[in-house]
Amino acid sequence: MIDAPPPSVSKRIIRALLGAPIPTSKAHHERLSPLLGLPVFSSDALSSVAYATEAILGVLILLSVAALQYQIWISIAIVLLIVIISISYQQTIHAYPSGGGSYIVASDNLGPKVGLIAGAALLIDYILTVAVSVAAGVDAILSALPHLKDHIHDAPVTLSLFFIALVAFANLRGLRESGSVFAVPTYGFIISMLVVIGWGIVHILQTPAGPPQVLAPMAGKEAAFPLMFIVLRAFAAGCTALTGIEAVSNGVPAFKAPETKNAGKTLIIMSSLLSVLFIGMGFIALHMPEHYSAFRIVEASDPKYQTLIAQIAAFGFGQNSFMFYTVLAFTAAILVLAANTAFADFPRLASLLARDGYLPRYLSRQGDKLVFHNGILVLGAAAAALIVIFQGKLDALLPLYAVGVFTAFTLSQAGMVKHWRRDKGAGWKRSAFINGFGSILCLVVLCIIAFTKFFEGAWLVLILIPMVYGMFYAIKLRYDSMSKQLLITEAPHKPSGHVALLLVPRVHRGTVAALEYARQMKGECQAVHVTINEKALPDLQRKWEQYGEDVPLVVLPSPYRSLIQPVLDYVDQIRSDRPGVLITVIVAEAVSTKWYQKLLTENVAQQLKHALAKRKNVVVANTRYFLN
Amino acid sequence: MIDAPPPSVSKRIIRALLGAPIPTSKAHHERLSPLLGLPVFSSDALSSVAYATEAILGVLILLSVAALQYQIWISIAIVLLIVIISISYQQTIHAYPSGGGSYIVASDNLGPKVGLIAGAALLIDYILTVAVSVAAGVDAILSALPHLKDHIHDAPVTLSLFFIALVAFANLRGLRESGSVFAVPTYGFIISMLVVIGWGIVHILQTPAGPPQVLAPMAGKEAAFPLMFIVLRAFAAGCTALTGIEAVSNGVPAFKAPETKNAGKTLIIMSSLLSVLFIGMGFIALHMPEHYSAFRIVEASDPKYQTLIAQIAAFGFGQNSFMFYTVLAFTAAILVLAANTAFADFPRLASLLARDGYLPRYLSRQGDKLVFHNGILVLGAAAAALIVIFQGKLDALLPLYAVGVFTAFTLSQAGMVKHWRRDKGAGWKRSAFINGFGSILCLVVLCIIAFTKFFEGAWLVLILIPMVYGMFYAIKLRYDSMSKQLLITEAPHKPSGHVALLLVPRVHRGTVAALEYARQMKGECQAVHVTINEKALPDLQRKWEQYGEDVPLVVLPSPYRSLIQPVLDYVDQIRSDRPGVLITVIVAEAVSTKWYQKLLTENVAQQLKHALAKRKNVVVANTRYFLN
C-alpha cells in the first residue's frame, strides 16, 4: 500500500464537505420512545397546519365572505377523517410490526402491480412534500422578514432552492433521523402554536361580540361556481393536512419495545395534536377582527402578504412581538424538517423499487455515508425543478399535493382488508370493516380531490402516476431481458487465437514501455503505424528496427489523413481473415499532471475506443506514460 | 471487411453535412492567371474601401465640419502608402517565389523570435479581419434592407454570427479558393463601384457650384482635441484600407508560370484599383449635397443609419434604385469573401506554427476534407466572441484593426532588408533601400496607429500580441520538455511479471467471456469480487466453481460499500508485494444499443480507469458484451 498516490483535489474537497465514510457495521437505529418518536415521524403531518387552513379559506373566499363560515364544518369533516384514518393505520401498525409502508402493504396483499401504483403515487408525493414544505417555510420566513424580498433576487425561488440544497446536503453527509435533535423544532412548534392559539381564543372570548358582520357576497363570483363544488374544493384543499399521517406506520421498528404499542401511542398523540391545532387555527381565523381576517389570504402576490399563522400570531401578540418571531421561526423549522423526512423516505422507497428491478439498480446502492446518495440527488433535483417551474408559489403547488397521498392511502387500506381476510385472526371481521371503511372513504376523498382540483393542477399528477408506473414496467422488462441475455446457455465460446496490435505513432519511451506490455499477451503481436506524413516514415522504421524487439511493423496508409479509420479497417480485415480471434489494440497515452498540459495532447485511445465500441472481440487497452 | 458495423447516426449526419472525404492525392492547386488571381487574393484589400473612407470622416467630424476637407490630403497620403508598400511587396514576391508570408520572411531572416511576433500579430489580425469584414457586410445588408432590424432580434449580432458560421461551415466542407467562383462577387464589386463613383463624379461636375458652405465649427469639440492628433487619428483610421495588401505575396505559387511575374502584375492591378476606389469615394463623399453628406456617418446608432457606400449609391442613382441594391449586394458579397480568405490564411499559419511546436500539434492535422479543421473552428469561435463582445459594432472593432497588420508589415520588410544584405545580388543596395524605407514607414504608421487609437481599443491588441507570443513559447517549452522526457535513454525496463485481475460482480455470459479474454494474457490470473451484499456471496462462489475454469476467486470486503476502493487497495498491495509487476484490470462492460438503456447500467470500467489513472504499470482493459 506504500505508493498509493494521494487522492485528487476534487476527491479531497468532496471528502471534506461530506465527512468521513461510515462503515456498514454502524448501520444501527436508535430506538425511540413515543416522546422522541413524535419529532421524528410527525413533522410532515403537523407542519401541514401551516398551509391547510389557509388553503380552505382561500377557496371559500371565491364564493363569498359569508361562505367563510363553512370553514368550521369543513374543519370538523377533516378532523373526522384524521380520526378514521388514524384508527385504520393503528391496525396497520399492529399487522406490520416490521414497517408497513403503502408500497409493501399493497404489494404484499394486492400483488406487485397495485403495489407499484402505490409506489408511483408515493414517489411523486415525496417530491411534492419537499417542494410544498420548503415553499411554505420560505413563506413563513418572508412573513417574518419581508425586507428579504428587497435584498434577494426572486426571494421565494432563491430561498427555496437554498433550503432544498441544504437539506439534500445534510442528508448526503449522512444525517440520521435523531429524536433528540429533531425534538427542538417539533416541540418548539407545538408549544408556540398552542400558546398563540390559546391566547388568541382567550382574546376573542374576552372581546365583546361586535355587531353582526354584513357579509356581502363577492360580486359576480358566486354565479360562476356552484356552492357544492366550492365547498368540496375547499374540503379537498384542507385534505393536505392529512399528508404525512402514515409516517409512523412506516417506521414501527424504530420504536423501543414494545414497538407496536409505542408506535400506536405516538400516532394517537400526533393525530390529537394535529386536530387541536387545525380546529384552533380555523376558529381564530374566522373570529379575528376584519383587518387581520381571511380577506388577506387571497392576496398571496401582494408584497405585504403574510401567512395565516403570521396573522394569528400578530393578532394575539402584536406584529414584530417576540412570540410573532418565535412562532414563525419554529414554523419554518418544522417545515424544513418535513422536507427532510421526504429525503429519508424517497431514497428508501426508491431503493426498494430498484432492488426489485423497477428503477435503475444504482438507486439501491448505499454510498460511503450509508445513505442512498443517488436517490437523494434525484429527489433534490426533482423538487428544485418543481420550485422553478411553479416559481416557488405555494398556492400553485398545493393543488398537486394530496392526490398521491390519498391514492397510496386507498391502496394500502384496501390491502389491509385483504390481509385480514387471509389472516382470519380474532376479530378479523371488525378489523377488515375498519380498513374497508377507511379505504372507501379515502377513495371518495381522492375522487373529490381529483375532480375539484383537476384543472388547477391535479391533472398533472393523474397523468404522472401512470407514466411513472409505465416507466417501472419498462425498466423491469429491460432488466428481465438483460438477465435472460446474460444466462450462460452454452459452454463459453473459445477464441481461435489472440492478436495484440500496438499502435506506434512515434518511437519513444512511452511506445517502448507499451511494447513491454504487449509482450505480456499470448498469441501474435504486431506494431501498427498509420502514416500521414510519408517523410517521417523511414526514420520511424529505422528506429523500430532498433527498439522493436523483432515485433513486425505494419504500415497502414491513410489516404484521408485519419488516424482512426485505417486501424478500424485493419481490425476488420483481421476479423474477417481469422474468424473467432480476439484482438487487443494497445495505445500508449501520455498522462500530464496539469490540466492545461492536457490541451497539448490528443487522446487517441478514447477516440479509438469509441470508434471500436460496436465491434465484438476487440478490446482497447491503454498503457500510460507519465510526464511532469 | 465484411462485418464492419454501420456508422453511428452522429457520424452519418456529419458526413451528410460536410460531404465525402478528399484524399491527400487531390491536394492540387489550380494555377491562376492575373485575371483569376485578382478575385482570390484581393477581396480583403478591395473590400476595405467599404469602411476606410467612412472611418476617416468619422474621426475628422469630431474636429469640425471644415476639418472634413483634410480628408483629401489624408487620402493622398494613404494612396502614397499603398504605392510604397506595393513596391516593397513586389520585391518580396520576386525573392520568395514559394510564398513569402510575414511569418516566414521574418523567421527566415530575423530569427524565430521575431517571426513569432509577426505570427502572433497576424493570427490576431486574421480574427479581426473576419469580425470586421462580417460586421461591415452586415452593415451593407442593413443599409439596403433596414426592415430586417425589426424582424431579427439584435440584427447586427445575429446576422454577423450567421455569416461567420456559414463561412466556417463552407471551409469545413473543403471550399477551395477558386478563381472562377470568386470572380463574380469581386468583379461585380469593382465594376459596380466604378460605375457608382464615375456617375457620382459626373453628377458633381455638372452641378453648378452652390454658395460656399458655411463651415461652422463643432461647438466645444475642437478645443478638446489638438488638430494634429485628430488628423493623425483620421489617417490611422484610413490605414485599415491597407489590410490584405500582402495577400498576393503569400500566394505566389498559386499563379501560372511565370509565377512571380503574374503575381507582380496582380499586385499592381489590385493596388491601382484600390487607389482609384479610395480616392473616388473620398471625392464624392466631400462633394455630395449636405443631406447625403458625411454628417450622417457619425450616427451609426441611428436606426436610419446608412453606410457611406449606400449614401453614394443613393446620391448617384436614387434610394432603392437598381444600382443601389446592386452595389450593396456586391459590397456584402466581397466582404464575406474577405472573411473567407482569413479562414484560409489563419488555419494555414496556425498549422505552420503548430508544425514548429508553437501551437498544439492537432492544429497542424488536416481533416478528411483536406482542411485544417481545428484551425477553422478556433478562428470561427474567436471571431464570434469578438462580435458578441463588441455587439457587432464596426466602429468599435475598427480601432483594434491594422495594429497587427502593420506590425507584420514592419517585421516582414525589415526581414527583407536582411535578406538583401545577405544575398548581395545585382542591385541589392537599391532593393534593401526600398524595403528599408517601407519598413521604417510601416513602423512610423504603426506608432501613429498605436498612439492615436490606444484608448479606443488598440491597447487590447498591444497587450494580446505579447500574450500570444508568450503562449507560443510556453507551448514550445512544454513540447521540448515532453520530447526530452520521451527520449529512450536506457534499455526498456523489463517487467517482473504480469497479473491479470478479472472483476466479477456477478457470474454471467459477459464475465465468462471476459475470463476467456483474461486467459489470453501471460502470467497469473485472478478473479476479484468486491462483496457488498454478503448474502449473494455463496451463490456467486458456487457459480464461479462451475464456470471459473480453476481461476482463483479473491473476495474483497468493502466496509464502506465502494466498488472501486477495495480494488485500488488490492492493486496497491500487489504492487508493493511484487515490485515491477504489470497489472491488467479486466472489466466486462455491458453495451446497450439505445441511449436510454445505458441509463440502467453503471460504467464501472470508466470510473475504475479514472481512479487508477495515477498508478504506474496498471492497465484497465474492458471487454464488452452486447445486449439488444
Chain B positions touching A502 (Cβ under 8 A) are none
Q: Do A560 and B475 touch (CB under 8 A)?
A: no
Which residues of chain A lie closer than 8 angstroms to B559, CB-CB? 23-25
B262 touches chain A (CB under 8 A): no
pLDDT at B287 (0 to 100): 82
pLDDT digits (tens, 9 = 90+) for A233-263: 999 999 999 988 888 888 888 888 888 899 9
pLDDT of residue A214: 44
C-alpha angle A257-A258-A262 in degrees, rounded to nearest 5? 100
Residue in A5, A489, A622 nearest the CB of B614: A5
Question: A218: pLDDT confidence band, cut at 50, 70 and 90?
Answer: very low
- Most B CBs within 10 A among A509, A558, A610, hence the mutation to make, goes to A509
Question: How close does chain B come to A173, measured CA to CA in Å?
Answer: 14
- Which of helix, strand or coil describes residue A591? strand
Q: Name every chain A residue with its beta carbon within 8 A of the beta carbon of B513.
A: 492-493
| Minimum CA–CA partner of B486 in chain A | A509
Q: Which of B520, B582, B600 is the closest to A582 by Cβ?
A: B520
Residue owning grid cell 391566547: A199
Distance CA B283, CA A409 (A): 89
Sign (positive/negative) of CA torsion A145, A146, A151, A154?
positive
Comparing CB atoms, the residue among B576, B616, B622 nearest residue A2 is: B576
* B248, B37 Cβ separation under 8 angstroms: yes
Taking the C-alpha atoms of residue A502 and residue A465, their distance in angstroms, rounded to an integer, is 54
Select from A515, A561, A620 the Cβ nearest to the Cβ of B366.
A561
Those residues of chain B that have pLDDT short of 70 are 1-4, 24-30, 175-178, 208-225, 290-303, 368-370
Chain A: residue whose CA lies nearest to B599: A360
Contact B600 A492 (CB under 8 A): no
CB-closest option in B3, B486, B590 to A575 = B3
Confidence of residue A290 (pLDDT cuts 50, 70, 90): low
Query: Would you call A562 and B368 a contact, using CB atoms and an 8 Å cutoff?
Result: yes
DSSP string, B378-432: HHHHHHHHHHHHTTT-HHHHGGGTTHHHHHHHHHHHHHHHHHHHHH--TTHHHHH
Question: A606 touching B, CB under 8 A?
Answer: no
d(CA B131, CA B380) in angstroms, rounded, equals 9
Separation CA B414–CA B434 (nearest Å): 10
Residue-wise pLDDT tens digits, B5-43 = 777 777 777 777 777 777 766 665 567 888 888 888 889
Bridge partners of A525?
A: A500
How confident is the model over A450-479, as a mean pLDDT? 92
Sign for the CA dihedral angle at A69, A70, A72, A75 comes to negative
ipTM of model over 0.85: no
Helix (H) or strand (E) holding A497: strand A497-503
Q: How far is A521 from chain B (nearest CA, A)?
A: 4
* Rounded distance between C-alpha atoms, residue A604 and residue A585, angstroms: 12
Residue A219 pLDDT > 50: no
Q: Do B627 and A599 touch (CB under 8 A)?
A: no
Which is more confidently placed, A314 or B133? B133
Could you say which DSSP state residue A550 is in? Answer: T
Determine the distance in angstroms separating the CA of B343 from the nearest CA of chain A, rounded to an integer: 20
pLDDT single digits (tens) A3-36 = 567 777 777 777 777 777 777 666 655 678 888 8
Pairing of strands B618-626, B581-591: parallel
Q: Over the stretch A349-378, which tens digit does the pLDDT of each residue have?
A: 998 899 889 999 888 887 766 678 889 999
C-alpha cell at B103: 511569418
**Distance from C-alpha of B577 to C-alpha of B557, rounded to nearest angstrom:** 20
Cross-chain residue pair B522–A517, CB shorter than 8 Å: no
Flag if A561 and B24 touch (Cβ within 8 Å): yes
**B531 and A CB contact within 8 Å:** no
B286 touches chain A (CB under 8 A): no
Nearest to B619 among A561, A582, A622 (CB): A622
Span B41-53, pLDDT tens digits: 889 999 998 899 8
Length of chain B: 628
Specify the 3-state DSSP secondary structure of A382: helix
Q: Å from B576 to nearest chain A CA? A: 6
Q: What is the DSSP string of B3-64?
A: TPPPPPHHHHHHHHHH-S---GGG-----B-HHHHHHHHHHHHHHGGGTHHHHHHHHHTTT-
Between the CA of residue B300 and those of B55, B141, B230, B396, B545, what are the distances in Å? 11, 14, 19, 11, 83
| pLDDT at residue A436 in the model | 93
Angle at B607 between CA B603 and CA B611, to 5 degrees: 165
Per cent of chain A over pLDDT 70 is 92
Chain A within 8 Å of B21 (Cβ-Cβ)? yes
Q: Compute how many other C-beta atoms are within 10 angstroms of the C-beta atom of residue A230.
A: 22
Which pLDDT band holds residue A212 (cuts at 50, 70, 90)? very low
pLDDT tens for each residue of A533-589: 888 899 999 999 998 888 999 999 988 888 888 999 999 999 999 988 999 999 998
The whole-number pLDDT of residue B294 equals: 45
CB A327 within 8 A of CB A318: no
Residue of B3, B361, B485 with shortest CB distance to A627: B485
Structural contact between residues A287 and A197, judged by C-beta atoms closer than 8 angstroms: no
Which among B82, B30, B394, B335 has a CA at the least distance from the CA of B188?
A: B335
Nearest Cα to Cα of residue B58 among B328, B329, B453: B453
Q: Is the bond leading into A303 cis (omega within 30 degrees of zero)? A: no
Using one digit for the tens of pLDDT, what is the confidence trace for A403-456?
999 999 999 999 999 999 988 888 889 999 999 999 999 999 999 999 999 988
Query: How far does the CA of residue B464 sit from the closest CA of chain A (Å)?
Result: 19
The C-alpha atoms of residue B326 and residue A498 are separated, in whole angstroms, by 69
Contact A591 B600 (CB under 8 A): no
What percent of chain B is predicted at pLDDT more than 70? 92
DSSP letter, residue A24:
G
Contact (CB<8Å) A3/B575: yes
Question: Does A480 touch chain B if contact means CB atoms closer than 8 Å?
Answer: no
Mutate to test the interface with B, among A26, A483, A570, A614 (most CBs of B within 10 A): A614
Chain A residues lying within 8 Å of B24, measured CB to CB: 559-561
Q: Which of B373, B482, B545 to mutate to test the interface with A (most CBs of A within 10 A)?
A: B482
Task: Compute the count of residue pairs across chains A and B with CB atoms less than 8 Å apart.
Answer: 189
Question: Is B20 an 8 Å CB contact of chain A?
Answer: no
Q: CB A492 to CB B515 under 8 A?
A: yes
